[in-house]
């Protein structure tokens, strides 16, 4: 499975590509950061993020895109830019029919470091070890994007099994089978039996 992890941001948007599967060594394919100038209008900054993400998806042809879930912070201006960048990323992937998964920061930290409260340095160190890199990916946004991809590969496999089980159970309910139609389930008619 090849996953593009994206740590969205209006000023710095981290990108990382990881390939692998559960129980097998992971391979880093690429990483980088889209940097947009603060003096540009927001619309132009979002266009730049769209252009670069579009190029990355063309080059790397991922099976999935993992995006950090936006959560409320104290700085509303920062969270708005992050949410806008996140939306652009999801639209670019959806346009291609690539599945998009959202992962919380604590979920990603726990996945790569074992602790949902790990700091950026700990996450970067674990990403470096897990991907067997000689140096830690810089800047931190790139390391975070790689961590998102790793998280999705490890957690996404389990989620895919759950989704598959749900999908295979769905034909029972779609054909009219329900808990009431099982033998012995009975139906209520409103009549009391003696």
DSSP state letter for 191: P
**CATH for 2-170 (2.40.160.10, 3.40.140.10, 3.30.420.10, 3.40.640.10):** 3.30.420.10
The residues spanned by each domain of the chain are: 2-170
Catalytic residues: 7, 68, 141
Q: List residues bridging with 30 in a β-sheet.
A: 17
Neighbours of 67 (CB within 10 A): 23
d(CA 171, CA 115): 39
Alpha helices in 1-139 (DSSP H): 42-60, 76-95, 105-113, 120-130
Q: What are phi and psi of 75, to 5 degrees?
A: -90, 100
pLDDT (tens, 9 = 90+) of the chain, 194 residues, equals: 999 999 999 999 999 999 999 889 999 999 999 999 999 999 999 999 999 999 999 999 999 999 999 876 667 777 899 999 999 999 999 999 999 999 999 999 999 988 788 888 999 999 999 999 999 999 999 999 999 999 999 987 666 666 666 777 766 555 555 444 444 444 444 444 44
The two three-digit tokens of residue 87, written as one number? 């939306």
CA within 13 Å, CB half, 147:
36
């Amino acid at each position: 499975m090849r996953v593009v992890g994206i740590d969205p941001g209006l000023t710095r948007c981290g990108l990382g590509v990881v390939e692998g599967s559960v129980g097998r060594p992971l391979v880093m394919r690429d990483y980088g950061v889209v940097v947009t100038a603060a003096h540009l209008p927001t619309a132009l900054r979002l266009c730049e993020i769209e252009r670069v993400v579009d190029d990355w998806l063309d080059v790397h042809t991922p099976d999935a895109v993992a995006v950090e879930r936006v959560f409320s912070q104290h700085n509303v201006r920062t969270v708005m830019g992050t949410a806008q960048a996140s939306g652009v990323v999801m639209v670019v992937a959806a346009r291609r029919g690539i599945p998009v998964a959202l992962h919380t920061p604590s979920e990603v930290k726990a996945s790569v470091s074992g602790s949902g409260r790990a700091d950026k340095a700990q996450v970067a160190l674990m990403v470096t070890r897990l991907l067997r890199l000689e140096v830690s990916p810089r800047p931190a946004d790139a390391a975070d994007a790689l961590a998102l991809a790793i998280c999705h590969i490890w957690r996404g496999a389990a989620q895919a099994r759950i989704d598959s089980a749900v999908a295979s159970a769905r034909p029972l309910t779609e054909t009219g089978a329900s808990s009431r139609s099982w033998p012995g389930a009975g139906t209520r008619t409103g009549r009391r039996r003696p």
